[in-house]
Structure 1
């Protein structure tokens, strides 16, 4: 059943080329075409859970742009504010997987369509009737001017009293940690929900103890400080109290997109006023299910699947 809550996110998307065989990329001749992108994964994750989900983006006016557009629209995501751009190719990435399972990702996103976004294109109607705005550090890292775009979107959200969730989602291939810290410090004061990993938080702030986390939340007036810790579960600091919930035991085959899925699950539970322990349990369940399927967003579950899984009614055998 479709939720009355509408969420919005903004970001780039890419065609992901996954190798059919292992080994150095120069020897791989066949690839499987997929669609990926942190914000796109979040939008799809929310839609599958039943939220009204809107994605703001620009795509190349080419065949790959059409692939992304049609795929995302087919997932039930609102594409009203996705436009095609002439002369800017849709971004690509190629994955390399070695025999031992380790890998690399090679990005081809120079002159990405999203780089043509301007503050003049930011409209109030993008956030009309919206219950929550979700942002990530990936979009901020792609192009320096995206910082100004995000700040403009934040101001629109603040005027409309729309809460904001943020996942730093550091991509050090796109910018340095010094650049990231400077931008994040500008963003943190406007964030209501911070969704981050402990290692990521330590990288950004140099802090990791619970006392330091608590002080950080107080300084920036963050309502929910959420630490995602993979197989160790997750924890939430809210109103001076910590809530900790352990992870679900699954056999992961691909962890890509698990953090995006967790974010979608957390936002769903938050909008539906779940109590802290139920909220973390639901988000943990979404993240765990994502890891049981190979691909960027293929494993993002539907609400019924999460509900059955966390209540021990769905057994994962893959």
Structure 2
């Protein structure tokens, strides 16, 4: 039986309230309750690809916290290092959708449960049987003290020889681009696999030129620099050369979670020793499938769905 690889991630999660009708929120009476959060989406994406997926977090000791816990556990995510905390309500994310399809997202993260996490909460035992640690910039942006937690995770991972994957996942509603750049440049020396959008990396280092990106990867000893470019496909700088793969042709209905799914797909294909071009193909397929379903994580596909899609066979009913 093939080895089941372990991936660890850490971050916030929230209840997402989707409006039942379009228009300004003050006129919306009914909402559909969902579960969201970049790192949790990633953890779910990994679990659906038959990876051992561990998520470190804190949830409010309230009904919404229990909804998130039960949902993630039901998806097969390892919740051993997720705890409930009193006095910190589970975060909310409320969406507004206008008649023309445009929208806004309103976050209610004040006093977030993850604010109770401290560096000493991260223990070496958490890293047992873990092959990759995957972090994103979202957790770092919630509160500056989270940077210390991130650095403890990175230090332990490096001590144990565990690969580090990082997605900047810039959230300018939470911090400035200047603060983000400073934090990322402290993280980059630890990173083995960087998964970033083309616009994102341009915001961080000021360019998306191939040579400049290659120089950046070499400067920080990033062995795999992966550029996500939506409908244009993706690119990978590895072993001194660029590899590119076109996007799959789908009709997108919702792009939320596509980047998280891509990350899960890329790490799956890396762990299973796919050739570089095949890694991009597999990750592109996961991202494409995510966009065909509305919701933060509802579209994250099962492994057999991705394999079927990549092989251009009839896709399992979704």
TM over 0.5, shorter chain? yes
Show structure 1 runs of 4+ deviating over 2 A: 314-318
Residue in 2 that maps onto 1:259: 259
Residues 74 and 315 from structure 1, CA distance in 2 versus in 1: closer, same or farther, beyond 3 angstroms? closer
Distance 1:317 1:233, change over 3 A: farther
Q: Is the 8 A contact 2:4 2:50 kept in 1?
A: no
Aligned counterparts, 1:175-194, within 5 A: 175-194=175-194
Alignment of 1:224-263 (within 5 A): 224-263=224-263
* Partner in structure 1 of residue 139 of structure 2: 139
Q: Which residue of 2 aligns with 1:208?
A: 208
Indicate conservation of the 8 Å contact 1:250/1:316, yes or no: no
1:314 Cα offset (Å) = 3.0
Match of 1:10 in 2: 10
Is the 8 Å Cα contact of residues 85 and 113 (structure 1) preserved in structure 2? yes
TM-score normalized by structure 1? 0.98
Quick one: distance in 1 between partners of 2:66 and 2:50?
A: 24
- Cα separation, 1, equivalents of 2:129 and 2:304: 26
1:65 partnered with 2:65: yes
Contact 1:36 1:296 (C-alpha < 8 Å) held by counterparts = yes
Residue 4 of structure 1 and its aligned partner are, at CA, apart by 1.7
Q: Which runs of 5+ in 1 are unaligned?
A: none
d(CA) in 1 for partners of 2:17 and 2:148?
31
- 1:80 is matched with 80
Structure 2 spans left out of the alignment, 5+ residues: none
Q: Return the offset for 1:315.
A: 4.7
* Corresponding residue number in structure 2 for 1:312: 312
CA distance in 1, matches of 2:315, 2:190: 40
Q: CA RMSD in A?
A: 1.2
Q: What residue is the counterpart of 1:110 in the other structure?
A: 110
Does the CA-based 8 Å contact 1:3-1:51 persist in structure 2? Answer: no
Which residue of 1 is the match for residue 99 of structure 2? 99
**Residues in 1 aligned to 2:89 and 2:3: alpha-carbon distance in whole angstroms:** 35
Task: Tell me, yes or no, if the aligned pair for 2:305 and 2:315 is still in contact at 8 Å.
Answer: no
What CA deviation, in whole Å up to 9, does each residue of 1:75-94 have, x standing for no partner? Answer: 00000000000110000010
Question: What is residue 50 of structure 1 aligned with on the other side?
Answer: 50
Distance 2:48 2:294 in 1: 17
Q: CA deviation at 1:278?
A: 0.7
The one-character-per-residue Cα deviations of 1:162-208 (angstroms, maximum 9, x if unpaired) are 00000000000000000000000000010000000111101011011
Q: Could you tell me which residue of structure 2 aligns to residue 274 of structure 1?
A: 274
Corresponding residue for residue 130 of structure 1:
130
- Classify the secondary structure of the residue corresponding to 1:153: helix
Q: Distance in 2 between matches of 1:37 and 1:72?
A: 11
TM-score under structure 2 length normalisation: 0.98
- Cα distance in 1, alignment partners of residues 160 and 172 from structure 2: 33
Q: Which residue of 2 aligns with 1:297?
A: 297
Mapped partners of 1:311, 1:285: distance in 2: 10
Aligned mates of 1:316, 1:177 — CA distance in 2: 41
Q: Give me the whole-angstrom Cα distance separating, in 2, the residues matched to 1:64 and 1:198.
A: 35
* C-alpha contact (below 8 Å) 1:305/1:314 kept by paired residues: no
Output one character per residue of 1:192-238: Cα deviation in whole Å (capped at 9) or x when no partner. 00000111101011011000000001100000000000000000000
